[in-house]
Amino acid sequence: MRRKVLETLSDIWVMTQRDVRRYLRLPQLLLTNIILNVVLLLLFNYVFGGAIQTGGVAYIQYFLPGFLAQSVVFGSTQTSVGISEDLSKGLIDRFRSLPMARVAFLSGRVFSDAIRYLILIVIMIGVGYAAGFRFEAGFIPAFLGVWLIVLFGIALTWLGVFIGISVKDVETAQVAGFVWVFPLVFASSLYVPIETMPSWLQVFAEINPVTPMVDTIRGLSWGTDISSSLWKILVWDTGIILITLPLALRKYRLLAK
């Protein structure tokens, strides 16, 4: 049993390296993503920041924690497209012929995307610091916040994997990915306080997983209480993974038959 687990972990590591090498061979994939996020961050801060009321808090302090969460939400749509592209190229048939754990192909993609998220988050925090953002609560809460965002990204990436392996078509994966992303991002506390929304929309925003994620990162940034939002986002992360991971693996096994 132990040997099988170690072999599975080794296979996952190999597939993770495969996907990481793709970013090294094609650095423009990661670079364009970074540039886009930097441009969006600066635009929102300097163009819209002065027009949005955030209760006396500088807009960059209010917005950046949410923007970090947004980066992994949108990043998960790239996972859907990437999985669909791999399937359309017939890679599933190649990997099926190899003596490797079937979970390795999908898990490798998830963990390589987690590395991508981590790189992007660190860079965006650096840009945020240049624009005036500060982790007022210190290093440890900031460190915890970064890994909570990565965990959130891993959960959503498994959802992206399931979507990508279900539609099996690159163009459809692009559309299907954004169908669920936009409501989560915009109907949350990411851009504006949810108290400013219509009452019916506030109900959705309260149960939206992006809201507790954003509120937790803000609390860790500002040094405020996160007890309410932290357990909510951990429950969401766990629930998403427990549902989408086995569904994605089942779908993958069916495709491999």
DSSP per-residue string spanning the chain: -HHHHHHHHHHHHHHHHHHHHHHHH-HHHHHHHHHHHHHHHHHIIIIIGGGS--TTS-HHHHHHHHHHHHHHHHHHHHHHHHHHHHHHTTHHHHHHTSSS-HHHHHHHHHHHHHHHHHHHHHHHHHHHHHTT---TT-HHHHHHHHHHHHHHHHHHHHHHHHHHHHH--HHHHHHHHHHHHHHHHHSSTTTS-GGGS-HHHHHHHHH-THHHHHHHHHHHHHT---HHHHHHHHHHHHHHHHHHHHHHHHHHHHHH-
How does residue 1 score in pLDDT terms, banded at 50, 70 and 90? low
Which residue type does 181 have?
Answer: V
Per-residue pLDDT for 16 more than 80?
A: yes
How does residue 153 score in pLDDT terms, banded at 50, 70 and 90? very high
Among 121, 144, 161, which Cα is nearest to 221's? 144
Q: Is residue 156 within 8 Å of residue 185, measured between CB atoms?
A: no
How does residue 68 score in pLDDT terms, banded at 50, 70 and 90? very high
| pLDDT in the model for residue 255 | 72
Backbone dihedral angles phi then psi of residue 29, each to the nearest 5 degrees: -60, -45
Per-residue pLDDT for 11 more than 70?
A: yes
Among 16, 165, 173, which Cα is nearest to 81's? 173
pLDDT (tens digit per residue) in 163-201: 888 887 777 877 877 788 888 888 888 887 888 888 888
CA dist 228 → 6, 216, 235, 240 (Å): 37, 9, 11, 19
Per-residue pLDDT for 76 more than 90?
A: no
Per-residue pLDDT for 229 more than 80?
A: yes
Per-residue pLDDT for 213 more than 90?
A: yes
Would you list the domain boundaries of the chain? 2-256
Q: Among 105-119, 132-146, 183-197, 204-218, which is the least confidently predicted range?
A: 183-197
Per-residue pLDDT for 243 more than 90?
A: yes
| pLDDT in the model for residue 53 | 63
